[in-house]
């Protein structure tokens, strides 16, 4: 998606340790006009899929998912990162290893919000090693719901998450795929 | 706001310990159509305020803030609950006591995204003791930005957060104010 690549080139920064900083528009400060365009693009790409719910994970996926959900006219469910006293005991759970925070955490979704009748689109901001998306897919499979696809804003094409998902037959639509980046020069190579 | 009160009466549940469960439409599963109507109502209520940015806190405020921000045509910044390696060292920070999770956590905002030129609307899902909003106000004051007001979905009017903010002269617009609730009967009394 050309608009997203333009945002990344203009406002992103490549840091040591394979970190792509896009916190001025994607995951700390959030440009909701861009999110609306991303939502339209996913709606175009998944136009034939009978999606009735979007699933994401807190925190940085939530804003993108909610704006995109308006294009689909469906509700969003976000997986929570820790047990809360406001969650009923009946939850689906999976473990996720965070690249950013370098730790493992539990993600949970109330069983009331995922059923065998649901057709789910997963939305998230980043795909690197794929751990967050795999955790969400585990939860969807446990619930008996149908995974229709995965929509990612930025895929790090030099990490294996996207490749492994495509090999499994998951319908994956990443709006920008970064195949290489160089912290010394700030250079970025996109897959087209 | 009548539509929000209808959602609360139809889909909410009163639990022991002053817990109002609204996770089927507000803060776990999220009804983005409702959020759009809430955004329109805040836009009407704050029509005269020169708001150029919305500030919220992860996680459950993010979806509401992003959909509402589309009505205002402004970006959203969300305060993060823990230090991340993707955040630069230069942050504003405050401590918040969570009613839901019964613990104290740090919230941080990058100094790049709050400046003395900013006119801020705070958006959050719940107002009870006001700790989260007060933490965000501390951060706004530290940055030199101007607080234009606070938009809350559901205020627990029987806790003191809203009263104290109004006494301080903060412009507070809660779309539903629950003055009393009874876990035994499920009864709810709204302020009008």
**Which chain A residue's Cα is nearest to B113?**
A29
Cross-chain residue pair B66–A69, CB shorter than 8 Å: no
- Distance of alpha carbon B71 from alpha carbon B35, whole angstroms: 11
**Which chain B residue's Cα is nearest to A79?**
B28
- Distance of alpha carbon B192 from alpha carbon B176, whole angstroms: 9
| Residue A103: predicted pLDDT | 78
| Residue A142: predicted pLDDT | 96
Chain B neighbours among A 42-61 (CB < 8 Å)? Answer: 58-59
Of residues A36 and B99, more confidently modeled:
A36
The pLDDT-based confidence of A7 (bands split at 50, 70, 90) is very high
| Residue A96: predicted pLDDT | 87
Q: Is the pLDDT of residue B87 over 90?
A: no
CB of A77 within 8 Å of any CB in chain B? yes
The region of weakest confidence among A12-21, A93-102, B173-182 is: A93-102
Interval A155-175 mean pLDDT? 98
| Residue B99: predicted pLDDT | 64
| Residue B61: predicted pLDDT | 97
The pLDDT-based confidence of B84 (bands split at 50, 70, 90) is low
| Residue B118: predicted pLDDT | 98
| Residue B101: predicted pLDDT | 64
| pLDDT tens column, A100-143 | 667 788 899 999 999 999 999 999 999 999 999 999 999 999 99
Q: Is the pLDDT of residue A87 over 60?
A: no
Interface test with A, best of B29, B65, B71, B99 (most A CBs within 10 A): B29
| pLDDT tens column, B37-77 | 999 999 999 999 999 999 999 999 999 999 999 999 999 99
| Residue A88: predicted pLDDT | 55
As a whole-number percent, the residues of chain A with pLDDT over 90 amount to 87
Helix (H, G, I), strand (E, B) or coil at A191: coil
Cross-chain residue pair A86–B66, CB shorter than 8 Å: no
| Residue A154: predicted pLDDT | 98
Least Cα separation, residue B151 to chain A (angstroms): 17
Nearest Cβ partner for A75 among B31, B58, B101 = B31
- Distance of alpha carbon A151 from alpha carbon A165, whole angstroms: 12
As a whole-number percent, the residues of chain A with pLDDT over 70 amount to 94
- Distance of alpha carbon B150 from alpha carbon B54, whole angstroms: 10
Interface test with B, best of A7, A66, A91, A153 (most B CBs within 10 A): A66
| Residue B104: predicted pLDDT | 83
| Residue B180: predicted pLDDT | 97
The pLDDT-based confidence of A65 (bands split at 50, 70, 90) is very high
**Per-position DSSP letters for B86-132, written without gaps between them:** TS-S-EEEEEEEETTTTEEEEEEEEGGG--TT-EEEEEEEEESS-HH
- Rounded (10°) angle between helices A60-72 and A32-45: 60
Cross-chain residue pair B59–A78, CB shorter than 8 Å: yes
| pLDDT tens column, B104-157 | 888 999 999 999 999 999 999 999 999 999 999 999 999 999 999 999 999 999
**Which chain A residue's Cα is nearest to B108?**
A28
Q: Is the pLDDT of residue B6 over 70?
A: yes
| Residue B151: predicted pLDDT | 98
Give the β-pairing of B91-98 and B103-110.
Answer: antiparallel
CB of A186 within 8 Å of any CB in chain B? no
Q: Is the pLDDT of residue B86 over 70?
A: no
CB of A113 within 8 Å of any CB in chain B? yes
| Residue B103: predicted pLDDT | 78
Cross-chain residue pair B66–A101, CB shorter than 8 Å: no
Residue A112 DSSP one-character state: G
Least Cα separation, residue A105 to chain B (angstroms): 14
- The structure's pTM equals 0.95
Cross-chain residue pair A100–B87, CB shorter than 8 Å: no
Cross-chain residue pair A32–B75, CB shorter than 8 Å: yes
Q: Is the pLDDT of residue B3 over 80?
A: yes
Nearest Cβ partner for A32 among B70, B100, B113 = B70
Residues on chain A touching B58 (C-beta within 8 angstroms): 58-59, 62
Count of pairs with CB atoms under 8 A, one residue in A, one in B: 129
| pLDDT tens column, B21-44 | 999 999 999 999 999 999 999 999
């Amino acid at each position: 998606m050309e608009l997203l690549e333009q945002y990344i080139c203009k406002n992103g920064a490549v840091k040591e340790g394979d970190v792509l900083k896009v916190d001025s528009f994607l995951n700390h400060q959030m440009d909701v006009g861009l999110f609306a365009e991303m939502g339209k693009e996913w709606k175009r790409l998944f136009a034939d899929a009978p999606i009735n719910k979007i699933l994401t994970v807190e925190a940085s996926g939530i804003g993108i998912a909610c704006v995109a959900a308006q294009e689909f006219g469906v509700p969003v469910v976000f997986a929570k990162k820790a047990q809360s006293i406001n969650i009923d005991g009946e939850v689906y759970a999976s473990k996720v290893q965070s690249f950013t925070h370098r730790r493992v955490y539990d993600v949970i979704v109330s069983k009331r919000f995922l059923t065998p009748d649901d057709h789910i689109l997963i939305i998230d901001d980043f795909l690197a090693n794929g751990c967050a998306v795999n955790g969400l897919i585990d939860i969807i499979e446990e619930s008996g719901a149908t995974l229709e696809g995965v929509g990612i804003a930025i895929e790090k094409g030099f990490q294996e998450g996207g490749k492994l998902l495509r090999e499994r037959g998951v319908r994956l639509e990443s709006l920008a795929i970064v195949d290489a980046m160089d912290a010394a020069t700030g250079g970025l190579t996109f897959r087209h």
